[in-house]
C-alpha cells in the first residue's frame, strides 16, 4: 500500500491518497479543497480512484467530494450518522470556506466494521463518534496505519462542542483507539503524523459525566 499526503485548504487539511501500485486502484481519505492537487496526481500515476472515504462530514473535510466524484466516478463514502451533512453543508456557509461546498451524495454508507477494498488493500471502518456523531477512523491492519480525521491528532483530539459532538463519546472513542498496537501509525486530518503508543496521555484521560 502506498500513501501520499497532501496538505490543502481550507484549514491546512491533510488528505491521503492510498493506492495499490500493482492494481492501480486508489482511495482518497477526505477531499477538503484538494481537487486541484489530487486530480492531476491521479492522472500522473495512472490511478483509478474507487472511493472518497470521509472521516466525517465537516465542511473542511468533504468540500471537494462532489467535483472529485464527478471527475473520477469514485464512490463517496461516509458513516451513516454523518450522511446528512453532505447535503446540509451546501446551505450552511462557513467563514473559512470561500463558498459553501456543493452538495455531495453518499454512494456508500459506512457502519462500524465496514471494509472497503482497494486492490488487495483492506480498509476497515472504526466508528469513533465524539467530534461528530458519524466520525470514523480508517484502519489498515496489514499496513499498520490508522487514518483518524479530527478524532485523534498528535497530542490532542478534535473539538467536541460543535453540533453532533459529545465529550463522553470522544472519551470512549479515544480509549478504544488506544487499544490498537502501539506501533500503529496515526495519520490525522490536521497536523503531523504520530503513533498510537506515543499518545500516552490517552491512558490518563478521565471523563466525569456532568450532573
Ligand atoms: Zn471536523
Ligand atoms: Zn478538521
User: What DSSP character marks residue 102?
Assistant: P
pTM (predicted TM-score) = 0.97
pLDDT in tens, 29-56: 999 999 999 999 999 999 999 999 999 9
Does residue 198 form part of some domain? yes
Nearest bound ligand to the CA of residue 32:
2
Q: What's the CA-to-centroid distance between 14 and ligand 1, angstroms?
A: 12
CATH code for position 123 = 3.60.15.10
Does residue 139 form part of some domain? yes
Average pLDDT over residues 70-79: 98
Percentage of residues of the chain with pLDDT beyond 90: 98
**For residue 209, what pLDDT band results from cuts at 50, 70 and 90?**
confident
Per-residue pLDDT at 97 exceeds 80 = yes
Q: What's the CA-to-centroid distance between 131 and ligand 1, angstroms?
A: 7
pLDDT at position 208 is: 85
Q: What is d(CA 174, CA 68) in angstroms, rounded to the nearest whole number?
A: 31
Does residue 123 form part of some domain? yes
Average pLDDT over residues 69-82: 98
Percentage of residues of the chain with pLDDT beyond 70: 100
Nearest bound ligand to the CA of residue 163:
1
Q: What's the CA-to-centroid distance between 69 and ligand 2, angstroms?
A: 20
Does residue 121 form part of some domain? yes
Q: What's the CA-to-centroid distance between 46 and ligand 1, angstroms?
A: 31
Q: What's the CA-to-centroid distance between 22 and ligand 1, angstroms?
A: 33
pLDDT at position 154 is: 98
With beta carbons less than 8 A apart as the criterion, state whether 103 and 86 touch.
yes
Number of Cβ atoms within 10 Å of the Cβ of 5: 12
pLDDT in tens, 103-138: 999 999 999 999 999 999 999 999 999 999 999 999
Nearest bound ligand to the CA of residue 132:
1
With beta carbons less than 8 A apart as the criterion, state whether 150 and 186 touch.
no
Q: What's the CA-to-centroid distance between 151 and ligand 1, angstroms?
A: 8
- Supply angle C-alpha 139, 105, 151, rounded to 5: 35
Does residue 210 form part of some domain? no
Average pLDDT over residues 87-114: 97
Number of folded domains in the chain? 1
The range of the structural domain enclosing residue 36 comes to 2-204
Q: What's the CA-to-centroid distance between 48 and ligand 1, angstroms?
A: 27
Does residue 143 form part of some domain? yes
- Range list of β-strands (E), 150-200: 152-153, 156-157, 185-188, 194-195
Per-residue pLDDT at 210 exceeds 80 = no
Per-residue pLDDT at 211 exceeds 80 = no
Does residue 209 form part of some domain? no
pLDDT at position 77 is: 99
pLDDT in tens, 18-31: 999 999 999 999 99
Q: What's the CA-to-centroid distance between 25 and ligand 2, angstroms?
A: 26
Amino acid at each position: 500500500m502506498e500513501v501520499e499526503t497532501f496538505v490543502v485548504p481550507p484549514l491546512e487539511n491533510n488528505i491521503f491518497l492510498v493506492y495499490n501500485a500493482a492494481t492501480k486502484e486508489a482511495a482518497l481519505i477526505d477531499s477538503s479543497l484538494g481537487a486541484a492537487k489530487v486530480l492531476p496526481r491521479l492522472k500522473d500515476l495512472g490511478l483509478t480512484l474507487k472511493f472518497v472515504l470521509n472521516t466525517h462530514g465537516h465542511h473542511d473535510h468533504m468540500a471537494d467530494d462532489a467535483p472529485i466524484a464527478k471527475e473520477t466516478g469514485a464512490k463517496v463514502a461516509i458513516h451513516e450518522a454523518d450522511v446528512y451533512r453532505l447535503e446540509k453543508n451546501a446551505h450552511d456557509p462557513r467563514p473559512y470556506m470561500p463558498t459553501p461546498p456543493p452538495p455531495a451524495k453518499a454512494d456508500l454508507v459506512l457502519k462500524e466494521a465496514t471494509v472497503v477494498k482497494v486492490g488487495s488493500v483492506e480498509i476497515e471502518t472504526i466508528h469513533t463518534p465524539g467530534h461528530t456523531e458519524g466520525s470514523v477512523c480508517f484502519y489498515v491492519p496489514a499496513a499498520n496505519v490508522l487514518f483518524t480525521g479530527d478524532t485523534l491528532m498528535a497530542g490532542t483530539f478534535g473539538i467536541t462542542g460543535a453540533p453532533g459532538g459529545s465529550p463522553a463519546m470522544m472519551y470512549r472513542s479515544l480509549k478504544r483507539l488506544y487499544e490498537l498496537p502501539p506501533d500503529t501509525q496515526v495519520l490525522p486530518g490536521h497536523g503531523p503524523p504520530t503513533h498510537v503508543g506515543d499518545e500516552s496521555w490517552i491512558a490518563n484521560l478521565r471523563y466525569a459525566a456532568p450532573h
